Amino acid sequence: MKAQQKILLAACALAVLSACSTPPVVAPAPAPAPVKAAPAPAPAPVTKPVAVSLPAYLDPSSSIYKNRSVFFDFDKYNVKPEFSALVADHGKFLSANPNVSIKVEGNTDERGGAEYNLALGQKRAQAVITALKVQGVKDSQMEAISYGKEKATGSDDAARAQNRRADIVYPSK
């Protein structure tokens, strides 16, 4: 029995030792520090749309932009009464805006000699400038140029009527 006693004693000792030994207390891992979210960027300030004011000569809805040609009868250079309102509109705008300068380009149809048509185109451009002066536009704001028949297109009556004109040309910017 001694062998049994030894086994029993060893089993008891083992039971006592295992009952007495407590598992080591493991401290719980510290909870991760709360991650502070990066501060949200401040919302962009609400901006009101800025109304961009275009000068009349650059505004496609303006009559100054839409109507820039004065048409003439064959071999004539007097401004017809039907174009008085157009010239008056441009004159009022230009006299109110002395920093804006224009060119008045005189044109003719293809009939006649080059020298004659250059002179006629110049007279047409000058006639429009004279009419603008009546509206208070300064000489320093205007320049007369003649293209004569250089820009003429077509040779039927409708095309010729379109070629006999003086164009009021504003700066592109």
Judge whether 164 lies within some domain: yes
Residue 73 CB: number of other CB atoms within 10 A? 10
Cross-strand pairs, 106:
146, 166
Judge whether 30 lies within some domain: no
Domain hosting 122: range is 69-169
Judge whether 101 lies within some domain: yes
pTM summary value? 0.70
| Distances from the Cα of 40 to the Cα of 43, 46, 47, 91, 101, angstroms | 8, 17, 20, 56, 52
pLDDT digits (tens, 9 = 90+) for 49-67: 766 778 888 889 999 999 9
CA–CA separation, 43 vs 109, rounded Å? 63
pLDDT in tens, the chain (173 residues): 566 666 655 555 555 555 555 555 566 666 666 666 667 777 777 777 766 778 888 889 999 999 999 999 999 999 999 999 999 999 999 999 999 999 999 999 999 999 999 999 999 999 999 999 999 999 999 999 999 999 999 999 999 999 999 999 999 87
Q: Are 124 and 80 in contact (CB under 8 A)?
A: no
* CATH, residue 144: 3.30.1330.60
Judge whether 105 lies within some domain: yes
Judge whether 85 lies within some domain: yes
DSSP string, 51-68: PP---GGG-TTSHHHH--
Q: Considering its fold, how many domains does the chain have in total?
A: 1
Judge whether 115 lies within some domain: yes
